[in-house]
Amino acid sequence: MYLCDRVINMRFILCKMALAHNFDKLQKGLFLLDYDGTLVEFTPMPEMATPSKRVLDLLKKLNCRVNTKVVIISGRGYMDMEKYFSQLPISIIAEHGAMIKNDGHWSHINLSPDSWKRAIYPMLRQFALSCPGSFIEEKEFSLVWHYRNALEIDGNIKSRELIQILTSSISSLGLKLLDGNKVIEIMDKSIGKGNATLKYIEENYFDYIVSIGDDKTDEEVFEVLSLNLTAETIKVGPGQTKAKHRLENVDEVLMYLEQIVSDTNN
């Protein structure tokens, strides 16, 4: 897509949303923002994808708006999110909804014991050894196989093999598989961004919602919000989506949010 087309696309979204709602008249608005691939670029190692000063300043300004709530919703481990955003008075939904931070305090949903990890980890280790550049990440409530640093052909082949093997073995353990952006993640089937979003908006009143995300896991959020007339959903990057709108990349997301802050402060 040419630069002028990207600008036109962004202006279309800004104009459409500006016409649809007057932010100054909102009783309570929610910005539900994914992290990796939305607020920060993907990096070879997850710990390298830290929020820039631009991102931190923007989230602070957005959250300081009257009648506005900012929530980061991410698959990242909750300790990573705490390290990155502890200085901001925002809410965080981490580990795909398994961990939630509200009013400065973390809580988790009730889950069955994670003894299943002992059965799945050796399988992931075998694939990590057979696919150079790939590695395993253990979170509080999930196991993740990353293959972003592997040769593309190796990662693609091995990831499909792993999915086929896991699909036949995890259902009896009450687990589900997420086929994400160069990652395969295994977790309790009750966990999900969609369920977390639904619970959050049921417990809190919002008369306007903006959800932005780039990954397959964010499609769960878009689907939950698809029938919500007060919600605007935005897909970042290419690919099929249930979102109503699209932005091309992280920089356009930040430009869009900056425009929202600028418009509502004028």
Residue 247 and residue 174 share a domain: no
Residues 125 and 239 in one domain: no
Active site residue 114: no
Residue 119 is assigned to a structural domain of this protein = yes
Are residues 224 and 245 both part of a single domain? yes
Same-domain status, 196 and 101 = yes
Q: Based on the fold, state whether residues 139 and 248 are members of the same structural domain.
A: no
Q: Would 209 be classed as within a structural domain?
A: yes
Which pLDDT score, from 0 to 100, does residue 15 have?
Answer: 47
Residues 184 and 56 in one domain: no
Domain annotation covers residue 19 = no
21 lies in some domain: no
Residue 211 shares a structural domain with residue 95? yes
Answer yes or no: do 120 and 252 share one domain.
no
Last residue of a domain, one of 188, 205, 220: 188
Q: What is the pLDDT along the chain (266 residues), one digit of tens a residue?
A: 445 555 545 555 554 454 445 566 667 899 999 999 999 999 888 888 999 999 999 999 999 987 899 999 999 999 999 999 999 999 999 999 999 999 899 998 877 668 899 999 999 999 999 999 999 999 989 999 999 999 999 999 999 999 999 988 887 888 999 998 899 999 998 899 999 999 999 999 899 999 999 999 999 999 999 989 889 999 999 999 999 888 999 999 999 898 888 865 55
Q: Are residues 220 and 150 in the same domain?
A: no
252 shares a domain with 158: no
The pLDDT of residue 2: 47
Q: What's the pLDDT score for residue 25?
A: 65
| Strands 183-188, 175-179: pairing kind | antiparallel
- Among 24, 34, 179, 251, which one carries the catalytic annotation? 34
Domain-located, residue 88: yes
Residue that is last in its domain, among 153, 188, 223: 188
β-partners of residue 247 are 236
Q: What is the pLDDT of residue 50?
A: 94
Residues 218 and 230 in one domain: yes
- Whether residue 92 lies inside any domain: the answer is yes
Domain span including residue 173 = 114-188
Taking a C-beta distance cutoff of 8 angstroms, is the pair 31, 69 a contact? yes
- Verify that 170 and 120 share a domain, yes or no: yes
| Edge-to-edge strand list for the sheet holding 231-236 | 105-108, 99-102, 91-94, 68-73, 29-33, 208-213, 231-236, 245-247
- Classify residue 48 by burial, with Cβ atoms within 10 Å: 0-12, 13-18, 19+: exposed
90 lies in a domain?
yes
What's the confidence (pLDDT) of residue 52?
96
**In this structure, what token pair is assigned to residue 125?**
């280790």
Angle at which helices 152-167 and 117-130 cross, to 10°: 150
Please classify residue 60 by burial: count the beta carbons closer than 10 Å to its beta carbon, then call 0-12 exposed, 13-18 middle and 19+ buried: middle
Chain centroid to Cα 265, Å, comes to: 27
Report the side by side order of strands in the sheet with 135-138: 135-138, 142-146, 183-188, 175-179
pTM comes to: 0.85
**CATH number of the domain encompassing residue 256:** 3.40.50.1000
Q: Is residue 140 part of a domain?
A: yes
Number of folded domains that form the chain: 2
Residue where a domain stops, chosen among 168, 188, 208: 188
